[in-house]
Amino acid sequence: SVYEMSGNECCLSTGEVIKVIGFKINKLIASICENNEVSQFSAKVELPLNFPGLYKVVADKTPYVSIEEITRKVSIGPTRFGHPCFYSPEDIKLANFTVRHGEQITFNSVEVVNGTMAVNCVVVRNNQSHSFTLPLSQEGKFYECEDDQIYTLKEIAEWKIPKCRNRIVRLSNALHMWDFSNPLPENFDGCLILMPVYEVQAVMKYRKDIVHILSDLDVEVKDITDCYDISSFLQPLSLEDVFERTSMEFPMVAEIMEGPSESQKPYNLLSAGKEIVIYKKYQAARILASEIRSDSPKRHFLIPMSYKGKFKRRPREFPTAYDLEIARSEKEQLHVVATKAFASPHKELFSVSVGDQFLVQQCQTSEILYEGRKKVVDVLACEQILSDTYKKVLLPMYMEGSFVEVIHDKKQYYLSDICKEFRLPFNVKVSVRDLSIKEDVLAAVPGLQFEEEITDSYLLISSASSPVESWEIPVYRLNMLVHLVSKDVQRVVPPATKTTVEEISKEQYYMVRRYENQTLHPPPRPPKKPA
């Protein structure tokens, strides 16, 4: 029969040899959950992996009986999703360390240690990390820890549903765009039991792409693994698959089977059929930057620390006095001008007019009279700049005004200097472009805000035929398939690394930000003065 599978036309004829290379969840069957059980009134509904909403994972109450069972059923990998946490109700005594009962054990990776398969683990005790390994043979009861992170359904399907188990999730945010096509009840905010429906990922002879076969397809197959030469198959690998290989396996030669989409510059040179050398895998720092503009859409960039251009400072904007306190530094005094008036409800605190200029001093507390009683509140001590003198004033920390920084610093800075000397977020403009980059996309941007420093996963590659320079390619944002080639690497030491500024989409920007440090929020505003 000829089947159309995920856009792949595939003929499954009698005698066809198929090499299964993996399993992937294709969709989820969801039931409304009450008291950790399927509600008797709930109908099963089918949810695609791109179904909207963010979800929290409910810890599984059924224990695992060994480390080996955990590694077999739970996804453990190099990403922030692949570090599951468990605890044991009993102490675990190791050669030079004892894991106490109830302590959270983070599983980071599975490696061969002294000839034995083991899991690299971490326990944080008194703000200190303790690393150790647990052999797969370790038995006991291991329970999942509560997880306060939020995930999309796709992330849960890929990382958070153990094999042979269902998963209970709790809706973290209400679905704002409910309509009649939504299979869940209107205003639903409870728990769901998710049952995965898998698809088989396979390769066939004479095809250079992956075939996706739904697990409920009515085809009979026979396991011939033990009596067939599987080396005659190509095995497509994603960049994630390559990254999961041990460090000992690098460097390696690979042929590109499917290159990234043309829109993914500057990686459009990586076309199908080209051979590349993959030297190593590692985590690298990037500065997440956004274009400064009032209208939408903004452009977003990931800038490597090797960027050789220079920057000049641009004024920052601060919506509250609390933001002034966060931006304040010991290195230089923060000078701002008010662009919005604020009338203080308390005579002890200062009322601001448009055009007032201040030097920010420090955060402190002050007594105010509120409804006939004295109350202590947080305030920001500043010096107001007058024509020929300075006046000490107190601004309420909750003050919703608007301030613009006055820049006195005319110096030019490298990216590394900015990261050392100043707190992010930080506003700049390129003053000298990076001459090592043919087209420096940052030079044309009128203003940039450096938002935060992130860490991401990269592979270092070069062309196999002419290894003049090497590039860092992002593992989780580049859609690309390769297969390994049995060739010796001519040059083990990689050539000079080319600096690449990566422009990312709005969706990628929010995915990057979602897992970094939570932004500090201003303290709650005290009650308004009665009219």
Each residue's pLDDT tens digit, 387-407? 889 999 998 887 777 899 999
**Of residues 510 and 313, which shows the higher confidence score?**
313
Q: How far is CA 531 from CA 311, 350, 366, 371, in A?
A: 49, 19, 23, 11
The residue among 106, 100, 62 whose CA lies nearest residue 83 is 106
Instruction: Read off the pLDDT of residues 252-283 as tens digits, 9 standing for 90 and up.
Output: 999 988 788 655 555 656 888 888 999 999 99
- Contact indicator for 197, 170 with CB cutoff of 8 Å: no
- Contact indicator for 442, 303 with CB cutoff of 8 Å: yes
- Domain 331-398, CATH: 2.30.30
Whole-model pTM: value is: 0.61
Question: How many residues make up the chain in this entry?
Answer: 531
Q: List 482's β-bridge partners, or say none.
A: 237, 256
Q: Which long-range contacts (CB under 8 A, 24 or more apart) does 390-396 make?
A: 390/359, 393/350, 393/358, 394/348, 394/349, 394/350, 394/366, 395/321, 395/324, 395/349, 395/350, 395/352, 395/358, 396/321, 396/344, 396/346, 396/349
Task: Characterize 314-342 residue by residue with b for buried, 16 or more Cβ atoms within 10 angstroms of its Cβ, and e for exposed.
Answer: bebebebbbbbbebbeeeeebbbbbeeeb
| Separation CA 107–CA 142 (nearest Å) | 12
pLDDT computed for residue 187 by the predictor: 66
Q: Is the pLDDT assigned to residue 297 strictly greater than 90?
A: no
Q: Where are the alpha helices (DSSP H) in 367-491?
A: 415-421
Q: Is the pLDDT assigned to residue 191 strictly greater than 90?
A: no
Residue 179 confidence class, pLDDT cut points 50, 70, 90: low
pLDDT computed for residue 48 by the predictor: 85
pLDDT computed for residue 174 by the predictor: 54
Residue 208 confidence class, pLDDT cut points 50, 70, 90: low
pLDDT computed for residue 521 by the predictor: 47
What average pLDDT does the structure give for the chain? 83
- Start and end residues for every CATH 2.30.30 domain found in the chain: 331-398
Q: Is the pLDDT assigned to residue 326 strictly greater than 50?
A: yes
Of the listed ranges 153-167, 206-220, 222-236, 371-385, the one predicted with least confidence = 206-220
Residue 412 confidence class, pLDDT cut points 50, 70, 90: very high
pLDDT computed for residue 527 by the predictor: 43
Residue 530 confidence class, pLDDT cut points 50, 70, 90: very low
